[in-house]
Amino acid sequence: MEHRPLLDNNTDSFDKEYEKNFLPDDIEDRWVRWVLQTSKTPADISSVLKLCMVESVNNDHRQLITYALELNNMIDNIRNGAIDIEVIKNGSRLIENFLNYTHEHFSREEQLIQKFNLPFYDKQIEQHQLIIEKLENLLTNFKSGRLAFTQKLKLMLLEWVIIHVISTDMETFKLEHFNYFILNAHSWSDFNDIIRRVGISEIDDQHQVITKQSLKILQMNKDRAITIDSLDLLDSFVNEVALLKKLLHEHFIYEEKLIKNYNIPNLEKQSNNHKQFLTTINSLEVAIKESNKLEGIEKFRQFIITWWINHINNVDYATFSIASWAPRILESAQNIEEIKWILKITGIPEIDTDHLYFVENCIKLTQLIQADPETALSKIVPLFQEMVEYAIAHFAREEVIMKKENIPNVHNHIQEHQRISKFLLKKNSEFESGFIALASIHHLKAVILEQWFNHTNIVDYRTFVEERYAINNEEITK
């Protein structure tokens, strides 16, 4: 996209443009700014980062934050005097990667805004241009050796990303702005960018089944006047609603049982939400039956689908997201059978076999310590190195399959491979240097497995099941 010049090389010029475009009144909070300016890792920012309704956008934001933090660390090194030709080369490469990824992310955001006819397109374009312009200036100045203004940049770097996310993006990607698209959806694939995956196979599968049933009701009688008396149509409606209620009842029982069994928070909130939803459905259904007409059908349709998606994306995602409850289960697991049920299957044998093999080796880390603490480290180091090499080779195999099957929208997937590989290589280096104590292996196992399960259950599942299924369906209908 074309970018009009918004800045010159004068940082005061940028500051004024920045203040005008990026700092709404409610962001002038000393705590938020302190968090942003002192953060070293993505986890440090979790308290101020908000998730929008589109998971692919959230994934992009996480990657942008990772780049911003790496740039912050580089600026700290420069300010501390650690600068040579290698720092210049690495810094240029990092800024270029950040700039290229920012271009890609903004392009994807703008396409989504247009696809769903979301508001604030002009404001998004203006802020996107401002950030791109500043990054381009930074890259030019860095390559030419003009580094003075990077000290001021350190104070603004994360604010560019975070404040844009928690203000403009949160306003743009609100669920209510998707309502027209939701109410005119035709198939499950239409919800692919909207409905979040919690990462638990059974729950995500049930969400899909119930969404399809809700969609069936949503589409009933759309081609006819909703005030027409039709006993056949009314009977069909009643039957479809009965099936929906049955599916919901079974699903809610499953969720609440899972919450109790694994001591997951939010049981009361979930239970109250479930009861309220079923009560409202019953009330609306009774009103339609008593009138013997379908006059209330439109209200019923809108309520079901919008409540349902909002519940999945907010309440269920917060409750069942693996990060919120699985670490303690993963940390205590002694064998693959205890946690195998959490891991989703893609249906591609070589990928599923790789996933299980990595998990089994991760569990072996703690088994080695328990068996013989004195000699454990000498066995753990080569095992972990083998795991890292295996994971990187596995990611390469996945990417070959993606390319072979022409699977679209894999940019975030590949970025995730790079992020996890970098994390594992860093831990491997710490093992080899003796920086990781045996006592911390249990916790490390949980951290590694949490990342592995999240990647497998959400990213891999979306790519190798949903995207692949959509491609196969398109080929069948041609």
Between CA 467 and CA 472 the distance in angstroms is: 9
- For residues 302 and 344, membership in a common domain is answered with no
- For residues 367 and 434, membership in a common domain is answered with yes
* pLDDT value for 228: 43
Three-state SS sequence of the chain: CCCCCCCCCCHHHHHHHHHHHHCCHHHCCHHHHHHHHHCCCHHHHCCCCCCCCCHHHHHHHHHHHHHHHHHHHHHHHHHCCCCCHHHHHHHHHHHHHHHHHHHHHHHHHHHHHHHCCCCCHHHHHHHHHHHHHHHHHHHHHHHCCCCCCHHHHHHHHHHHHHHHHHHHHHHHCCHHHHHHHHHCCCCHHHHCCCCCCCCCHHHHHHHHHHHHHHHHHHHCCCCCCCCCCCHHHHHHHHHHHHHHHHHHHHHHHHHHHHHHHCCCCCHHHHHHHHHHHHHHHHHHHHHHHHHCCCCCHHHHHHHHHHHHHHHHHHHHHHHHCHHHHCHHHHHHCCCHHHCHHHCCCCCCHHHHHHHHHHHHHHHHHHHHHHHCCCCHHHHHHHHHHHHHHHHHHHHHHHHHHHHHCCCCCCHHHHHHHHHHHHHHHHHHHHHHHCCCCHHHHHHHHHHHHHHHHHHHHHHHHHHHHHHHHHHHHHHHHC
Q: What is the pTM of this model?
A: 0.76
Q: Which of 323, 355, 376 is the last residue of a domain?
A: 323
Q: Which of 173, 195, 217 is the last residue of a domain?
A: 173
Asked whether 412 and 105 are in contact (CB, 8 A), the reply is no
Please report, for the domain that includes residue 367, its CATH number: 1.20.120.50
The tens place of each residue's pLDDT in the chain, 478 residues long, gives 433 333 334 444 445 554 555 544 444 456 666 777 677 777 777 777 788 888 888 888 888 888 888 877 777 776 666 566 776 777 788 888 888 889 989 999 999 999 999 999 999 999 999 889 888 887 887 777 665 545 556 667 677 788 888 889 999 999 889 988 998 888 888 888 899 888 888 899 999 999 999 999 888 766 554 444 555 677 788 899 999 999 999 999 999 999 998 888 889 999 999 999 999 999 988 888 777 655 677 788 889 999 999 999 999 998 988 777 777 777 778 888 888 888 888 989 999 999 999 999 988 887 887 777 667 778 888 999 999 999 999 999 999 999 998 887 787 788 889 989 988 998 888 878 877 666 677 677 778 888 898 889 888 988 898 777 666 655 444 4
In total, how many domains does the chain have? 3
- For residues 158 and 200, membership in a common domain is answered with no
Place of tokens 């994807």: 108
- For residues 61 and 206, membership in a common domain is answered with no
Asked whether 191 and 309 are in contact (CB, 8 A), the reply is yes
User: CB within 8 A of 340, min separation 6: which ones?
Assistant: 356, 359
* pLDDT value for 226: 46
Q: Which of 288, 323, 358 is the last residue of a domain?
A: 323
Determine the residue type at 367.
Answer: Q
* pLDDT value for 438: 63
- For residues 103 and 56, membership in a common domain is answered with yes
Asked whether residue 1 is assigned to any structural domain, the reply reads no
Asked whether residue 276 is assigned to any structural domain, the reply reads yes
Q: 36 lies in which domain range?
A: 11-173
- For residues 54 and 169, membership in a common domain is answered with yes
Asked whether residue 42 is assigned to any structural domain, the reply reads yes
- For residues 19 and 166, membership in a common domain is answered with yes
Asked whether residue 349 is assigned to any structural domain, the reply reads yes
- For residues 314 and 389, membership in a common domain is answered with no
- For residues 24 and 167, membership in a common domain is answered with yes
- For residues 318 and 334, membership in a common domain is answered with no
User: CB within 8 A of 41, min separation 6: which ones?
Assistant: 69
Asked whether residue 139 is assigned to any structural domain, the reply reads yes
Asked whether residue 298 is assigned to any structural domain, the reply reads yes
Asked whether residue 5 is assigned to any structural domain, the reply reads no
- For residues 429 and 457, membership in a common domain is answered with yes
Best CA proximity match to 14, nearest among 171, 155, 172: 155
* pLDDT value for 380: 83
- For residues 194 and 277, membership in a common domain is answered with yes
